Structure 1
Amino acid sequence: MVGPLENLRIVELGHVIAGPLAASLLSDFGAKVVKVETPGRPDMMRDLGPVAIDGVGVWWKTLARNKQILGLDWKSEEGLKVLRKLVECSDVLVENFRPGVLERAGIGPEVLHGWNPDLVILRVSGYGQDGPMRDTPAFGRAAEAMSGLAHLTGFADGSPMHPGFPAADSTTGLMGALGLMIALYARERGVVRGQVVDLAVFEALLRLIDYHVPAATGAGIAPIRNGLRQPMDFAPGGMFRTRDGIWVTVSAGSAETARRLLRAVGGDSLADDPRFASLHSMSKHMTEVFDTLNAYITARDFSEVQVEFERHDAVAAPVLSVEQIIDHPQICHRGDIASVEGDPTHVVGPVPHFSITPGVLRWLGRPRGADTASVLEALGYDDVQIADLARTGCIETALEEERT
């Protein structure tokens, strides 16, 4: 089946997570991504984290999925010529270097748009391409701190906390993919030709948290971390452990669902208490609500809690481990865990689900230089020229990688 983005061509100069994830998300739906790695200095995601039984880093397998791998020293004279040919026939260039790296290499946006006026350039950096912190080095955790996420996570009397995954980098990848599609749509409509999408790593989280800024400026309420409860405790909920040791999360998003929740744990007398007539009035008594939920759930096994909550159409969702996620019937039914033939490593499949043009996992991350020859051939290079480039160290091919 033809992917909806089959004709989209992306050059990826990115590394680690944020930029590569943006390209990876689009590759799931057919975009042809050429990932450029400098010979001798491969993307660190090849080695970071756990290694699969075949010796390949599992993070690399999924971040580089569906991508062609081109080993190219794009800063060299001959390498720059190859990069120009790539850019001239591409729609998108993704980079996540520090601001100024492309300019110092002589290929800032003005040069790239001179090569291809229709090129959309995604520039991911710690704090953006301008401003007083433009040149300040940053990692994902610094972005989580700047966005407010770390301040909102943890216990009230404890330290701020980071989540258990690279939230800033991952959400930046997601926002970067959205930014690219918006820019491409604007180009397709004839509004503009090529343009730059400038995305700071802290900005995606800042936008997705969404409520803390209007709460502070509009209502004069500064959300704070609140342990197992919501930062502002505006609705019943929290994290609780059942008698048989299963952690469950409980939540309600409206006055009606909140009263169903209260009826499940305290009967009609609690649910119909005038203090709980609205979420606004309920918020003034959230400690009592939390304590009631905690007393009810901790005194019962999960199966009993689940039955009672379902009877009242309330939500008590178990916290799943990765082992439970892999075997979960709903997740399996949706096809959200995917693999490729011959590789025991499973990854999360393409999301979202399309009714006619679904995403496809074609292959997992490939070896260094795996596609160098085929990419160069598509650009018009013959075997002799490719061999000459390999001898000078300008490119890295799969055979060279195997010998090393």
Structure 2
Amino acid sequence: MSQGPLKNISIIELGHVIAGPLAATLLADFGAEVIKVENPRGGDMMRDLGPKAQDDGLGVWWKTLARNKRILALNWKTPEGRAILRRMVEVSDVLVENFRPGVLERADIGPDVLHRWNPDLIILRISGYGQEGPMKKTPAFGRAAEAMSGLAHLTGYPNGPPMHPGFPAADSTTGLMGALGVMLALHARGNGTAKGQVIDLAVFEGLLRLIDYHVPALTGAAVSPLRNGLRQPMDFAPGGMFRTSDGVWVTVSAGGAETARRLLRTAAGDAFADDPRFATMAGISANMAEVFDALQKFIGARDFDTVQAEFTKNDAVAARVLSVEDIVNHPQIAHRGDIVDVAGEQTRVVGAVPHLSDTPGSVRWLGRAEAADSHAVLRDLGLNEQEIAALASSGVVGMPQESEEKE
């Protein structure tokens, strides 16, 4: 049993793929009891995406996205399944869903019905463009959200196409923002500000908020940030991505004008650093292409250890770009305990973040097989063996193979 800070919070997850499930996972890491509801005729598509674990054949992405969750296979669109879902709602704190707008309403379990069953229920609703507005019925996936937020527009080379990052940024940041929304709603419920409420979160909104600077840059300063290749869209300080003479990719940055001038002095000499154009950060920013070229020449002619030492001496940063092989063997990451082993599993995963001193999160188990906890969940809801057997035989509830049940 969890001893995390959310150990008394119970969550129903009707989500699928990434955004909704990740929100629930982040809360489960800190002790919330999450019951993930899947269709008995085939579970979440994340089970089949990506590589499979060598020891048991389950998808490794599924393993981490569904970790710390109990799995119930339930067709909640049937009258019998709806009755089971109602029992769950009546004793739960949170429900997470990320269907298209209208799916719950067409099944007659919209927020009005859910709040009739449990007025204190917090409902996290994640959709492509939100529950209302002219685009509410428009299909959307993470890439469309990355395009709408401005992220894709800001990523890539000036004369090249917009680019997506190397991970599902929109879905992942939506999961993070969804977990924050749940915590805010729980706090409001706890201090009497509100009872149960609905959190309406569009998938593009998390990135829109976290990018943060592009909207005020345009509206306040009439500046439109543009993609800038290996440099930031708006060059506030010397930096970028460079390759050393021994083939190491490094990202570098200098946080202030004095640091920048020290770095320029090291890279290109006194005359360059003392150029009046570089007297302020605004001047450095305005001439960043020339600064970038000087850094490129300096870094490209030296090995990584020399570059790092020179940058450190000048209070600037030159950080090695890590591959995943580097990450799992890195001493600082190991010291932080950020990659964790799980009992009975070959697969290692990123642990609970952030680190809490007194009530830390934990990974208690990884994502389980389909219907792994169906029997146990129904039993906890008060159903007897005859009722459970009837639900299973009718197909309303999926049951695991005996070898898969982990109770």
Q: Please indicate the TM-score interval, normalised by the length of the shorter structure.
A: over 0.9
| Structure 1 segments unaligned to the other structure (5+ residues) | none
The separation in 2 between residues aligned to 1:203 and 1:24, in whole angstroms, is 20
Q: Residue in 1 aligned with 2:26?
A: 25
Q: Residue in 2 aligned with 1:302?
A: 304
Q: Residue in 1 aligned with 2:120?
A: 118
* 1:48 correspondence with 2:49: yes
Match of 2:279 among 277, 280, 284: 277
Letter in 1 for 2:101: P
Letter in 1 for 2:225: P
When structure 1 is superposed on structure 2, of 263-272 and 131-140 the one drifting more is 263-272
- CA positional deviation for 1:402: 6.2
The separation in 2 between residues aligned to 1:62 and 1:196, in whole angstroms, is 27
Q: Residue in 1 aligned with 2:242?
A: 240
Match of 2:178 among 176, 179, 184: 176
Alignment of 1:4-403 (within 5 A): 4-53=5-54, 54-399=56-401
The separation in 1 between residues aligned to 2:241 and 2:18, in whole angstroms, is 30
- CA positional deviation for 1:193: 0.1
The separation in 2 between residues aligned to 1:336 and 1:238, in whole angstroms, is 27
- What is the DSSP-based 3-state SS (H/G/I as helix, E as strand, rest coil) of the residue aligned with 1:197? strand
Deviations for 1:358-400, whole angstroms, at most 9, x for unmatched residues? 1111000001111111111111011111111100001011128
- What is the DSSP-based 3-state SS (H/G/I as helix, E as strand, rest coil) of the residue aligned with 2:268? helix
Contact 2:372 2:404 (C-alpha < 8 Å) held by counterparts: no
Contact 2:250 2:318 (C-alpha < 8 Å) held by counterparts: yes
**Gap change, CA 1:86 and 1:257, over 3 Å in 2:** farther
The separation in 2 between residues aligned to 1:387 and 1:235, in whole angstroms, is 66
- What is the DSSP-based 3-state SS (H/G/I as helix, E as strand, rest coil) of the residue aligned with 1:325? helix
The separation in 1 between residues aligned to 2:170 and 2:351, in whole angstroms, is 21
- CA positional deviation for 1:226: 0.5
Deviations for 1:258-312, whole angstroms, at most 9, x for unmatched residues? 2343244234544444322221121111111100000000111111111111222
Contact 2:37 2:72 (C-alpha < 8 Å) held by counterparts: yes
The separation in 1 between residues aligned to 2:91 and 2:24, in whole angstroms, is 17
When structure 1 is superposed on structure 2, of 30-39 and 341-350 the one drifting more is 341-350
The separation in 2 between residues aligned to 1:248 and 1:392, in whole angstroms, is 59
Contact 1:261 1:315 (C-alpha < 8 Å) held by counterparts: no
- CA positional deviation for 1:401: 9.3
The separation in 2 between residues aligned to 1:93 and 1:371, in whole angstroms, is 18
Letter in 2 for 1:322: V
Contact 1:144 1:205 (C-alpha < 8 Å) held by counterparts: yes
Letter in 2 for 1:9: S
Deviations for 1:89-123, whole angstroms, at most 9, x for unmatched residues? 00000000000000000000000000000000000
| Structure 2 segments unaligned to the other structure (5+ residues) | none
Number of residues of Structure 1 aligned to a counterpart in Structure 2: 403
Letter in 2 for 1:296: F
Contact 2:10 2:92 (C-alpha < 8 Å) held by counterparts: yes
When structure 1 is superposed on structure 2, of 249-258 and 125-134 the one drifting more is 249-258
Letter in 2 for 1:156: P
- CA positional deviation for 1:234: 2.1
The separation in 2 between residues aligned to 1:21 and 1:75, in whole angstroms, is 24
- What is the DSSP-based 3-state SS (H/G/I as helix, E as strand, rest coil) of the residue aligned with 2:285? helix
Deviations for 1:324-379, whole angstroms, at most 9, x for unmatched residues? 00000000100000121121111110000011111111000001111111111111
- What is the DSSP-based 3-state SS (H/G/I as helix, E as strand, rest coil) of the residue aligned with 1:192? coil
The separation in 1 between residues aligned to 2:41 and 2:404, in whole angstroms, is 13
Letter in 1 for 2:112: E
Contact 1:236 1:289 (C-alpha < 8 Å) held by counterparts: yes
Letter in 2 for 1:50: P
Normalising to structure 2: TM-score of the pair?
0.97
The separation in 1 between residues aligned to 2:4 and 2:32, in whole angstroms, is 8
The separation in 2 between residues aligned to 1:383 and 1:269, in whole angstroms, is 85
The separation in 2 between residues aligned to 1:104 and 1:37, in whole angstroms, is 18
Contact 1:263 1:312 (C-alpha < 8 Å) held by counterparts: no
The separation in 2 between residues aligned to 1:402 and 1:340, in whole angstroms, is 17
When structure 1 is superposed on structure 2, of 394-403 and 173-182 the one drifting more is 394-403
- What is the DSSP-based 3-state SS (H/G/I as helix, E as strand, rest coil) of the residue aligned with 1:398? coil
